[in-house]
């Protein structure tokens, strides 16, 4: 639904009020209570007339008085005397000037010319010598030069006085010297005047105080000037009387057209201001605007409210600015109309400008009403602010400066781009000099900045392309790192991320494989004793077995149950350690004694297994703050592990030493089974060196040891060199 009826009338009256108000602001000081003769233009003309009247008529330049006031100073005499150098330099210079000419006269055998040239030379030399010998001689020369300057100046003043009479012939004057009574009066004085201004008789006097500056600056002094300027000051003289412009002379003035234009324009403006007052009255009565009038213009309002709030405010501001410009344009057309006293040629242009003004004022009025409506609800107002263009721009700029280097470089590139455009336009408009400077700056600043920008954007595109490949899973090619820019740093970070993802995928694959092996090994290790238990239980149910067989079966059941119990307890313990539910009871323990106990329990077993056990330990106690029970479990697991998997007939080395602030426990043996390359997997649960799982181990020994060591902030390291198996355990000592 669009604007209709009363709404359009209200908008028209608002536009007219705005139009008349701006015209009032622009013109009131010139037209209200004033006439043309109070305008600035006429005041400038009047003051010019008064100044020239005083100079050429009331107190003209006095040539004789100026000559009588001539003075010559000693500085001027010295300046004149030494103007061309010292006495010897000037004499030598004169002789050089005449030597060639005299020589030519001799060559041509022209005795008369030679005599004349020599006489001129000697006369000038004599004059120079007299200059250096007699101050009065020099003073007389200077005085004559000054008199000549004054004579030239007086001639120029007489010519300027004639021009004054021609230029201001429409002015009349009747003035009397207050001191001497001398009267100055123009020839065409009348009583019927368009303009008149009186002086004296309780009004300010017409004051004349001429100052004449004569010298090289006025063009009256030659290149041998001894002075820059002569200044002649006259005393202030007061005059009373009147200056005026007769009505009969108005058409002869240079401002006759301006006078008529002022009167016509004043009438037009008075009419506009009067109708503006009527428009204000209408807005408070029959055409009073309200929000409800414009609320139902849904289509226009919907389009306007789609724009961000700050852009709407800018639109309103720009519309108001252009509305002001439109009023100024109409104001100029009114002045032109007054000047030519013909409205017809400019009527269509005035109407067009007023239609544009009406549209702009409509945008401002409706925009203000609709913005006010959007501010009524606090929640809606907050949403408006968050959707503002400047808010988003500030948010974007803030993100731009997350990396300060990129932010600064971006701003510098924008500034260079902007200045390049400004420089190009300025260079094209202001001539060759500025264009030359622009070309230099373009080649040494603009183009290098552009090249750097394009290279950086190309590098960024390459990074984005390879990032996409990484996102799709292609991790084979690292991003090339170029230079030390923020993009290069970003490429380096992406390479680190790529390597991390690659390792993560490798670890994930390894984890899946180990998980599968874990399920398989747990199933095997649990099923083996469980199968034996079930089998021998079924055999015990047979009533025909002998007592000896029954005892044998019960013994097997006891061993298999104990193994199953140990396996389940180890698995439960590893699970608790992995979940962090295991608590430590740390005490100050002698590791030397603890190692002796752990190894001593298995010395007979090593002997029976045909293994040569070699023990190395410190001679003094070695203390550490550990959980004694669990640390004994670690040592026991490592010793038992060596007992199970060492090749018969070989030596097993168990060593405890102090390395710095750590205690180091080492077990070395020759394995009876061939070990693979993935040695680090031996600490995984149910991972055994006996891949065929023919031994009685659970595969949890090293996993348990690893977990306990980690809980004590220690380190367990496995090294394999062929069949040599080495476990190194370190823990901080107390």
Tell me whether residue 482 is in a domain.
no
Same domain, 158 and 142: yes
Q: Measured between alpha carbons, how far is 627 from 587 in angstroms, rounded to an integer?
A: 6
Tell me whether residue 476 is in a domain.
no
Q: Which residue has the tokens 């394999």?
A: 720
Give the pLDDT score at 172: 93
Q: Which two tokens stand for residue 111?
A: 């005795």
Highest mean pLDDT among 289-303, 392-406, 410-424, 428-442: 410-424
Question: Which has more pLDDT, 42 or 294?
Answer: 42
Between the alpha carbon of residue 478 and those of residues 131, 517, 518, the distances in Å are: 95, 33, 35
The pLDDT tens digits for 708-721 are 888 888 898 888 88
Same domain, 304 and 381: yes
Q: Measured between alpha carbons, how far is 523 from 686 in angstroms, rounded to an integer?
A: 10
Question: Which has more pLDDT, 525 or 371?
Answer: 371
**Least confident window among 300-304, 321-325, 396-400, 693-697:** 693-697
Q: Is 662 helix (H, G, I), strand (E, B) or coil?
A: strand
Q: Is the pLDDT of residue 565 over 80?
A: no
Mean pLDDT of 441-451: 72
The pLDDT tens digits for 273-284 are 999 999 999 989
Tell me whether residue 496 is in a domain.
no
Same domain, 18 and 134: no
Question: Which has more pLDDT, 18 or 544?
Answer: 18
Same domain, 435 and 355: no
Same domain, 129 and 180: yes
Would you list the DSSP string of 322-375?
A: HHHHHHHHHHHHHHHHHHHT--HHHHHHHHHHHHHHHHHHHHHHHHHHHHHHHT
Mean pLDDT of 106-131: 91
Highest mean pLDDT among 277-286, 441-450, 455-464, 576-585: 277-286
Same domain, 268 and 336: yes
- Which of the listed residues 471, 487, 504 is the one where a domain comes to its end? 471
Q: How many domains does the chain have?
A: 4
The pLDDT tens digits for 385-408 are 777 767 666 665 665 565 666 667
The pLDDT tens digits for 576-612 are 666 566 677 888 999 999 888 888 888 888 999 899 9
Q: Which range marks the domain in which residue 308 is found?
A: 5-33+256-389
The pLDDT tens digits for 615-633 are 999 988 899 998 888 888 8
Interacting residues of 359 by C-beta distance below 8 A, sequence separation 6+: none
Give the pLDDT score at 695: 45
CB 699, CB 688: distance < 8 Å: yes
Q: Is the pLDDT of residue 373 over 70?
A: no
Question: Which has more pLDDT, 524 or 449?
Answer: 449
Same domain, 10 and 86: no
Give the pLDDT score at 327: 93
Would you list the DSSP string of 496-533?
A: HHHHHHHHHHHHHHHHHHHHHHHHHHHHHHHHHHHHHH
Q: Measured between alpha carbons, how far is 670 from 403 in angstroms, rounded to an integer?
A: 57
Q: Is the pLDDT of residue 98 over 70?
A: yes
Highest mean pLDDT among 3-7, 279-283, 673-677: 279-283
Tell me whether residue 535 is in a domain.
no
Q: Measured between alpha carbons, how far is 693 from 600 in angstroms, rounded to an integer?
A: 27
Give the pLDDT score at 633: 82
Name the DSSP letter for residue 671: B
Give the pLDDT score at 393: 65
Give the pLDDT score at 176: 95
Q: Measured between alpha carbons, how far is 63 from 155 in angstroms, rounded to an integer?
A: 9
- Which of the listed residues 389, 413, 443 is the one where a domain comes to its end? 389
Tell me whether residue 518 is in a domain.
no
Same domain, 19 and 72: no
Q: What is the pTM assigned to this prediction?
A: 0.47
pLDDT band at 521 (very low <50, low <70, confident <90, very high): low
Q: Measured between alpha carbons, how far is 651 from 606 in angstroms, rounded to an integer?
A: 10
Tell me whether residue 487 is in a domain.
no
- Which of the listed residues 211, 230, 252 is the one where a domain comes to its end? 252
Same domain, 124 and 242: yes
CB 638, CB 727: distance < 8 Å: yes
Q: Is the pLDDT of residue 16 over 60?
A: yes
Mean pLDDT of 234-244: 93
pLDDT band at 270 (very low <50, low <70, confident <90, very high): very high
Give the pLDDT score at 49: 92
The pLDDT tens digits for 139-168 are 898 888 888 888 889 999 999 988 888 888
Q: How many CB atoms lie within 10 A of CB 730?
A: 17
Tell me whether residue 507 is in a domain.
no
Highest mean pLDDT among 71-85, 296-310, 428-442: 71-85
Mean pLDDT of 350-364: 91
Q: Which residue has the tokens 């950086």?
A: 456
Cα 397-401-405 angle, rounded to 5 deg: 135
CB-hemisphere CA count at 13 Å for 501? Answer: 16
Question: Which has more pLDDT, 520 or 675?
Answer: 675
Same domain, 691 and 603: yes
Q: Which two tokens stand for residue 94?
A: 């004169």
Give the pLDDT score at 423: 67
Same domain, 92 and 186: yes
Same domain, 19 and 158: no
Mean pLDDT of 207-231: 62
Q: Which residue has the tokens 């004499």?
A: 91
Question: Which has more pLDDT, 23 or 539?
Answer: 23
Q: Is the pLDDT of residue 289 over 80?
A: no
Tell me whether residue 562 is in a domain.
no
The pLDDT tens digits for 44-60 are 999 999 999 999 999 99
Give the pLDDT score at 722: 83
Q: Is the pLDDT of residue 297 over 70?
A: no
CATH number of the domain to which 615 belongs: 3.30.565.10
% of the chain with per-residue pLDDT over 70: 78
The pLDDT tens digits for 504-517 are 777 676 656 655 65
pLDDT band at 378 (very low <50, low <70, confident <90, very high): low
Q: Is the pLDDT of residue 226 over 60?
A: no
Give the pLDDT score at 399: 55
**Least confident window among 18-27, 117-126, 188-197:** 188-197
Q: Is 627 helix (H, G, I), strand (E, B) or coil?
A: coil
Phi and psi, residue 284, nearest 5°? -95, 0
């Amino acid at each position: 639904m669009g604007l209709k009826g009363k709404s359009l009338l209200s908008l028209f009256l608002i536009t007219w009020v705005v139009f008349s108000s701006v015209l009032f602001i622009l013109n009131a000081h010139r037209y209200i209570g004033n006439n043309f003769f109070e305008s600035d233009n006429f005041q400038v003309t009047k003051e010019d007339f008064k100044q020239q009247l005083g100079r050429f008529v009331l107190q003209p330049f006095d040539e004789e008085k100026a000559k009588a006031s001539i003075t010559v100073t000693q500085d001027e005499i010295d300046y004149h005397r030494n103007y061309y150098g010292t006495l010897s330099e000037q004499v030598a210079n004169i002789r050089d000037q005449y030597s060639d000419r005299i020589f030519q006269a001799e060559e041509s055998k022209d005795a008369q010319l030679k005599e004349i040239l020599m006489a001129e030379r000697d006369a000038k030399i004599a004059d120079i010598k007299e200059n250096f010998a007699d101050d009065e001689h020099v003073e007389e020369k200077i005085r004559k030069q000054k008199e000549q300057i004054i004579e030239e100046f007086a001639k120029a003043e007489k010519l300027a006085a004639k021009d004054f009479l021609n230029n201001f012939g429409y002015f009349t004057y009747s003035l009397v010297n207050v001191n001497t009574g001398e009267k100055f009066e123009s020839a065409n004085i009348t009583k019927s005047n368009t303009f008149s201004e009186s002086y004296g008789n309780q009004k300010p006097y017409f004051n004349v105080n001429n100052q004449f500056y004569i010298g090289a600056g006025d063009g009256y002094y030659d290149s041998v000037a001894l002075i820059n300027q002569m200044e002649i000051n006259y005393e202030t003289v007061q005059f009373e009387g009147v200056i005026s412009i007769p009505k009969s002379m108005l058409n002869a003035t240079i401002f006759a057209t301006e006078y008529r234009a002022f009167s016509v324009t004043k009438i037009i403006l008075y009419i506009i201001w009067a109708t503006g007052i009527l428009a204000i009255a209408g807005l408070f009565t029959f055409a009073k605007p309200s929000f409800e009038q414009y609320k139902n213009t849904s289509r226009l309002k919907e389009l306007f409210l789609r724009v961000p709030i700050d852009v709407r405010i800018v639109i309103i501001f720009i519309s108001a600015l252009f509305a002001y410009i439109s009023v100024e344009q109409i104001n100029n057309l009114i002045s032109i109309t007054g000047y030519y006293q013909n409205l017809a040629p400019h009527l269509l242009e005035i109407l067009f400008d007023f239609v544009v003004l009406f549209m702009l004022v409509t945008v401002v009025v409706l925009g203000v009403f609709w913005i006010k409506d959007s501010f009524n609800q606090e929640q809606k107002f907050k949403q408006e602010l968050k959707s503002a263009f400047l808010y988003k721009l500030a948010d974007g700029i803030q993100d731009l400066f997350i990396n300060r280097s990129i932010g600064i470089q971006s701003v510098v590139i924008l500034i260079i781009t902007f200045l390049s455009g400004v420089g190009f336009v300025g260079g094209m408009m202001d001539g060759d000099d500025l264009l030359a400077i622009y070309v230099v700056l373009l080649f040494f600043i603009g183009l290098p900045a552009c090249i750097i920008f394009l290279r950086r954007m190309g590098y960024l595109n390459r990074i984005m392309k390879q990032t996409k490949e990484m996102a799709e899973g292609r991790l084979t090619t690292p991003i090339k790192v170029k230079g030390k820019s923020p993009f290069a740093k970003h490429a380096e970070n992406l390479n680190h991320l790529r390597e991390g993802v690659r390792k993560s995928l490798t670890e994930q694959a390894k984890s899946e494989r180990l998980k599968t092996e874990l399920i398989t090994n747990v199933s095997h290790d649990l099923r083996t004793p469980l199968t034996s238990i079930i089998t021998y239980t079924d055999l015990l149910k047979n009533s025909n077995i002998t007592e000896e067989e029954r005892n044998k079966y019960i013994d097997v059941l006891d061993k298999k149950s104990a193994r199953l119990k140990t396996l389940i307890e180890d698995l439960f313990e590893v699970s608790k350690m992995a979940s962090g539910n295991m608590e430590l009871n740390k005490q100050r323990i002698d590791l030397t004694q603890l190692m002796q106990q752990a190894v001593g329990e298995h010395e007979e077993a090593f002997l029976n297994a045909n293994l040569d056990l070699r023990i190395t330990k410190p001679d003094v106690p070695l203390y550490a703050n550990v959980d004694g029970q669990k640390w004994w479990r670690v040592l026991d697991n490592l010793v038992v592990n060596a007992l199970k998997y060492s090749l018969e007939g070989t030596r097993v080395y168990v060593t405890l030493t102090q390395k710095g602030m750590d205690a180091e426990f080492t077990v070395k043996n020759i394995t009876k089974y061939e070990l693979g390359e993935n040695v680090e997997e031996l600490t995984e649960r149910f991972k055994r060196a006996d891949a065929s799982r023919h031994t009685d181990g659970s595969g949890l020994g090293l996993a348990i040891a690893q977990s306990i060591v980690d809980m004590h902030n220690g380190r367990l390291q496995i090294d394999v060199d062929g069949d040599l198996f080495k476990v190194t355990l370190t823990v901080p000592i107390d």
